[in-house]
Structure 1
Amino acid sequence: MAADLPEPASGPAPGDLAAEAGRIGPAAAKVAARLSDRARSVSGDARSVLATTAAMAEDPALVQAAERLVTERGLPAPRAVWEAAGQFIAALRGAGGYLAERVRDVADVRDRIIAELLGVTPPGVPELTAPSVLVARDLAPADTAGLDPTLVLALVTEEGGPTSHTAILARALGIPAVVACAGVLGLDAPGLAVDGNAGTVDISDGTVRAAGRGSRQQWDGVGRLADGHPIKLLANVGSAADAHAAAAAGAEGIGLFRTEFCYLAATDEPTVAAQRAAYAAVLAPFAGKPVVVRTLDAGSDKPLAFLPATDEPNPALGVRGLRVAFQRPDLIDRQLAAVAAAAADTGAEVSVMAPMVATAAEARWFAERARHAGIARIGVMIEVPAAALAATEILAAVDFVSIGTNDLAQYVFAADRQLGAVAALNDPWQPALLRLVAMVAEAAAKAGKPAGVCGEAAADPALAPVLAGLGLTSLSMNPVALPPVGAALAGVDLNACRDRAKAALAATDPETARPQGE
């Protein structure tokens, strides 16, 4: 990867401050236009990330803050953009959680605008002429979204976490990725051998290669084990484009429909009619098939323009997910009405589930409102450790549960899932995490109700048989992971899955939990 831009000089002061400040808006607009053009050329998660980054480039708050630094302090435009972005970056880092994940995005936008002002090539992915392993300190999501999988065999970064947007986008593109690989930039090696499943990077004999890229595993489109035991294979989606990609990949339904896309760019709450149309566009490709809609997962760590901002010392532990609905029940009621209407419009078999549920009382509160809206099947996400421990009581109030392993791991280990320094703690093979998953699966089996996984753990072909052996009934993942996970499950029977699960639960660390050779 090309090196980052050097920090711009703070002088000399421009002769015409108004003219210098006037350069910033057009430069930001050009960066946004390029990103928007790239967004239109891709689909799914990549389009969403590029569109969001384009909107960030034209954010009036950033542009106006930089313009003030020019006119009030006499800074050159590049330096003004650097300092204005620095203020936003400091605030995001201090907020933690989801907001801290945006730091890399803001830095990327900053560097693109500065490069435009200086008339130089922005840092980023070099032009590749042959298949390569891309090595970087970190990679902006916007850069990851534009990678060509035929040229980028694998991605290795020194920073980042296993569930960062960069890692998730790499998975969506089918590019093996190893993140938080300390010291990789200092390697003096003729080539690297990268195994995305095992999370290893080995110095090779000069051949640049990535494990598992030579052939595609076969899957017949039905989620089941070798003995016919069913394991529904579903897709995680966040837009209509994602839903079409999931249908094309053979998903048996949608296990996680993230509805935030309808809200995050809105300055006012979308009307019921607008939500209904947006949801229907996602549900339409799955008429007659199961779709699980997650209600709004927002709050202090995912701020919405039409909700009053609150100052919280730790937003990841604050008012987010269902907790927003407790304060604004009218908001969740309108969303549930829109979901019910979209289900009637499309014929999809729609269920709803609530995020960030911690107690059985919260589950009952949500279930009552969802049933009042006319939705027959209601569930909740298990991503708070208290919810896993109270799974029996929660399942008495709802029809199913879905385990969000990304957040569950983060809360179990008190380890920010975006922070490379603690990335090992967020490994989905951690025995402590698997024991909580097993506890939830056992409670669901006793209640005679389904329990699935919709976190990144579901997309690991080696881990899928373990999850099946623990008693999970469905796995929901990015569409690109469906064929390898489906093929892995088809190659083992239920007894073998239970043996693998037993061994993983008895392990003392992730390394021994993984089957040998995986």
Structure 2
Amino acid sequence: PDPAPERVLKGIAAGPGAAVAPVARMAEPPALPEHEPAVDDPVAEENAALGALDEVAAELDRRAADLDGEAAAVLGALALMARDPDLRRQVGELARDGRPAAWAVHTACGRYQDLLLAAGGYLAERAADLGDIRDRAVAVLLGLPMPGLPDPGHPHVLVARDLAPADTVRLDPAKVKAIVTRLGGPTSHTVILARSLGLPAVVGCPGAEHLVEGATVAVDGDAGTVEVDPEPEVAERIEGRAERRRVLLAESRGPGRTADGVPVALLLNAGEGDPDEAAAHDSEGIGLLRTEFLFLDRAEPPTVAEQTEVYTRLFRAFAGRVVTVRTLDAGSDKPLEFAPTGEEANPALGVRGFRTSRPHPDLLTDQLTAIAAAERAAAAEGPSARVRVMAPMVSTAAEAAEFAELARSAGAAEVGVMVEVPAAALLADRLLRRVDFVSIGTNDLAQYTMAADRTLDGLPELLDPWQPALLHLLAKVGRAGEGLGQPVGVCGEAAADPLLACVLVGLGATSLSMAPPALPAVRYVLARHTQAECRRLAELALAAEDPEHARKVVREAAHPEAVLL
């Protein structure tokens, strides 16, 4: 029998909010029979295996057609993965070597997963996606039920070893009150989709595998905790908090401001999806436009015309608001078939972001040309966005100056860089003298500051954005911005934590960018603190011994209404 779970489990805070409900566990994936049968017709097995992958891809495409935004993009990417030529080649070779179809699929997907995990970063996060494709194809070949979501007939907390994106997009927030997974990292597709649904979520949670079906749990997606069989007063407090949050956030509207009226722009992190849908959110624009969706899963780079069309539509949708376009953040952990960077022993420290322009300069110059052309095209037809461009993975002032020259030559009016490595944070004043603004990517900055791979499930405490070492680097960037009168944004996941958002403003952040569901809570909490109070909270966090202590002292000093949210 499974051991009894700990009373309070700790994982990665992945989706804001809290909920109390009984556990409903995800069914285990289909298992191969104990004995592998002999094969009489290898060609038939190959055809069956490839046919199962085709069936899975077609089903994912059908689901994607009924969705939009992030959900459609994720399922489309999964369908492309099921059709990956290299995966299909490996499946075919195994079948022709005498492996039954289901075993050929299972083995080939396992090998491919090992490669993705070894690559780290973005690719490691896609290993879970490939596991979902494997399970679906094996279910087809063995005639077993397709892996799917439980439906206990009442609101529940969904608990799984790892939740596949194809299932996450089907979640009904009226039934699923929160998500808890044993595996998963802060950049997984599951986390992205959970945030887009506004569901409380805790991922990478040791002990989740021992949670018993039907047991009541209290999930705190802000603290990253799961409490088993909470005391009645605890459950009542959390349920009251959830209802209070719903009511208050429904009333939270307008631009970001501190209690004394200091503006703090509240912006969106955005990527592939309907621009009009993104523009419908009550935000002041986009603080991070991820452009990788235009480049990934292609044999050739997108043309200038293709890019121009996409950017133009977005700039029109956000007329009168800011749109900050991050140039291509690819290479190494997000490899492009048409832009090889060679073998690298440690992809996270390799040729990625702005560094990709060294071996492949046309990728950056074409993108800058397209952004400028789109800005002109949008403005020619009426009101348009205020467009800014920024480069990822910039480490030195020289790199910042190089990017600024390229961007301004292409016609960019406002040019910035991402601060994602400690070198850039330590000399932020030098970078800011070369550009118009900087934006801090806390996910990568935490990874490089703490020497901890952000995709690993076992190191969540090191990647905690409340780590004092990380906050000290953010303070250095904030002071540089204040001293030079230059804007400093934060576009990592740290900005989505309402209390930490106040700390960030106290450290000097002038804008915060986040997933749409996080906007109302950040707006509400920020409006209850003056700028001076934000600075005081920042001082407390900087002086803390560890993340847990930092959270505690800030929570104790924060406005009571902010803590009750």
User: TM class by shorter-chain length?
Assistant: over 0.9
**Aligned counterparts, 1:299-318, within 5 A:** 299-318=331-350
Quote the residue 1:454 is aligned against.
Answer: 491
Residue 143 (structure 1) shift: 2.1
Tell me if 1:280 matches 2:317.
no
Tell me if 1:172 matches 2:196.
yes
Quote the residue 2:481 is aligned against.
Answer: 444
Aligned equivalents of 2:309, 2:320: Cα separation in 1: 18
Residue 29 (structure 1) shift: 1.6
Aligned equivalents of 1:250, 1:303: Cα separation in 2: 34
Residue 128 (structure 1) shift: 4.7
Residue 206 (structure 1) shift: 8.8
Aligned equivalents of 2:154, 2:341: Cα separation in 1: 48
TM-score (normalised: structure 2): 0.88
**Aligned counterparts, 1:62-81, within 5 A:** 62-71=87-96, 73-81=97-105
Query: SS state of the match for residue 249, structure 1?
Result: coil
TM-score (normalised: structure 1): 0.96
Aligned equivalents of 1:369, 1:256: Cα separation in 2: 20
Deviations 1:307-336 (A, max 9, x none): 125211111110000001122222211110
Aligned equivalents of 2:341, 2:147: Cα separation in 1: 34
Residue 509 (structure 1) shift: 0.9
Query: SS state of the match for residue 296, structure 2?
Result: coil
Deviations 1:345-370 (A, max 9, x none): 22221110000000000000100000
**C-alpha contact (below 8 Å) 1:190/1:206 kept by paired residues:** no
Aligned equivalents of 2:94, 2:440: Cα separation in 1: 47
Aligned equivalents of 2:63, 2:518: Cα separation in 1: 24
Quote the residue 1:472 is aligned against.
Answer: 509
1:287 maps to amino acid: A
Query: SS state of the match for residue 193, structure 1?
Result: strand
2:354 maps to amino acid: L
Tell me if 1:320 matches 2:352.
yes
After TM superposition, the structure 1 stretch with the greater mean CA deviation from structure 2, 23-32 or 352-361, is 23-32
Deviations 1:142-175 (A, max 9, x none): 3223222111111111222234332232122111
**Aligned counterparts, 1:128-277, within 5 A:** 128-188=152-212, 190-205=215-230, 212-214=241-243, 215-216=246-247, 217=249, 218-241=251-274, 243-277=275-309
**C-alpha contact (below 8 Å) 1:192/1:206 kept by paired residues:** no
Instruction: Identify which of 4, 16, 26 aligns with 2:41.
Output: 16
**C-alpha contact (below 8 Å) 1:253/1:290 kept by paired residues:** yes
2:407 maps to amino acid: A
**C-alpha contact (below 8 Å) 1:359/1:394 kept by paired residues:** yes
Instruction: Identify which of 541, 555, 565 aligns with 1:516.
Output: 555
**C-alpha contact (below 8 Å) 2:341/2:351 kept by paired residues:** no
Deviations 1:185-243 (A, max 9, x none): 224573001111111111235988976532242212211111111000010111242x3
**C-alpha contact (below 8 Å) 1:380/1:398 kept by paired residues:** yes
Aligned equivalents of 1:481, 1:276: Cα separation in 2: 30
Aligned equivalents of 1:18, 1:396: Cα separation in 2: 65
**C-alpha contact (below 8 Å) 2:49/2:104 kept by paired residues:** no
Q: Any gaps of 5 or more consecutive residues in structure 2?
A: 1-25, 379-383, 557-562
**C-alpha contact (below 8 Å) 1:233/1:476 kept by paired residues:** yes
Residue 251 (structure 1) shift: 1.1
Aligned equivalents of 2:229, 2:332: Cα separation in 1: 46
Query: SS state of the match for residue 462, structure 2?
Result: helix
Identity %: 54
Aligned equivalents of 1:151, 1:489: Cα separation in 2: 31
**C-alpha contact (below 8 Å) 2:341/2:359 kept by paired residues:** no
Residue 133 (structure 1) shift: 0.4
Tell me if 1:291 matches 2:316.
no
Tell me if 1:426 matches 2:463.
yes
Deviations 1:71-106 (A, max 9, x none): 1x2110000001111221111122122211111111
Residue 3 (structure 1) shift: 1.0
Residue 64 (structure 1) shift: 2.4
After TM superposition, the structure 1 stretch with the greater mean CA deviation from structure 2, 180-189 or 131-140, is 180-189
Aligned residues: 516
After TM superposition, the structure 1 stretch with the greater mean CA deviation from structure 2, 224-233 or 40-49, is 40-49
2:261 maps to amino acid: G
Quote the residue 1:41 is aligned against.
Answer: 66
Q: Any gaps of 5 or more consecutive residues in structure 1?
A: none
Aligned equivalents of 1:177, 1:509: Cα separation in 2: 23
Residue 381 (structure 1) shift: 0.3
**C-alpha contact (below 8 Å) 2:495/2:513 kept by paired residues:** yes
2:508 maps to amino acid: G
Tell me the C-alpha RMSD between the 2 structures. 1.8
1:181 maps to amino acid: C
